[in-house]
Amino acid sequence: MKFLNNMTLGQYVPVESPVHHLDPRCKIVAVLFCLVGIFMVRGPLGFVMWGLFFLALVGASRIPARLVLSTVKPVWILVAFTAAIHLFFTGGEPVFSWGILEVTREGVVMAARMGLRLMLLIMFAGLLTLTTSPTELADGLESLFSPLRRFGFPAHELAMMMTIALRFIPTLLNETERIMKAQIARGAELERGGPLKRLRAFIPVLVPLFVIVFQRADDLATAMEARNYTGGEGRTRMNPLEWTAGDSAAFVFSLLFSFLAVFLDGRVTLP
């Protein structure tokens, strides 16, 4: 259950901060620019710049840094696995060998590079969901996808599905924790034994969880039909999106910083 307590994906923290007040379209596009810039980082200077930029955003968002950094905890296994793949299967100058496994200097560099990239990607994406409510996120995605409607792209439906998926992640985690506590109260040993034993012990948790998932999906569909929900055509918003000068400044700054980080990373080397 410690794993569930560390899950922050999909959660929204309502705090008064400059980051929270930004237009969701600005934050979504800015994060996309940041993700592209992070993927292009190759040297230590670039990682240092992106790390400092992330810490500056966390300070401006007024969200506890511990909460933002915890977004990496649920996926640390994926980060470690990706780093291990590059560590043991990248050719180059040998540094250490053990049986059929061989660690090369290039493998160490690639493992560190990919691990840091994944961590930064997850933290930037987590900061987006922590500072943007599901409703704002849906409106921002629908507005960004709206030019594709003329080609038959279901902008509203896609935005709605993505928002519902993000919104129900914390709800399903709470249901999972509740079922696990009920099973433990009945004598189930969910946190003891080896991996296979734990996996078998989770079957009594997964079965009622799937039942709850389908029940909630059916309840949501019934509620939407009862309210005569027919899609995005002709619907109005309670809080229309409004692009301000602050959004333009934040967008331009994120774009310039991405180009600057990539430019300096390729031309400046740390001693």
pLDDT in the model for residue 1:
47
182 compared with 269, residue with greater pLDDT: 182
Q: Best-predicted range by mean pLDDT among 54-58, 167-171, 223-227?
A: 54-58
For residues 71-95, give the mean pLDDT.
75
Cα separations (Å) of 63 from 23, 57, 66, 121, 166?
18, 9, 9, 18, 19
pLDDT at 27: 92
What is the average per-residue pLDDT within 168-176?
77
User: 101-130: per-residue pLDDT in tens?
Assistant: 677 777 788 888 888 888 888 888 888 888
Q: Is 135 exposed, middle or buried (0-12, 13-18, 19+ CB in 10 A)?
A: middle
pLDDT given for residue 271 in this prediction: 40
Given a contact cutoff of 8 angstroms between Cβ atoms, the answer to whether 237 and 19 are in contact is no
Reduce the DSSP state of residue 97 to 3 states and report it. Answer: strand
> Angle, nearest 10°, between helix axes 24-39 and 134-145?
80
Residue 53's pLDDT band (cuts 50, 70, 90): very high
What is the rounded CA–CA span in Å between residue 265 and residue 45?
Answer: 6
pLDDT at position 4 is 46
- The residue-averaged pLDDT of 54-63 equals 90
pLDDT reported for residue 3: 45
Share of the chain above pLDDT 70, in %: 83
- Span 69-77, average pLDDT: 74
> Using 50, 70 and 90 to split pLDDT, how confident is the model at 174?
confident
Alpha carbon 130 to chain centroid distance? 10
- Range in 9-23, 24-38, 153-167 with the lowest mean pLDDT: 153-167
Q: What letter represents residue 60's amino acid?
A: A
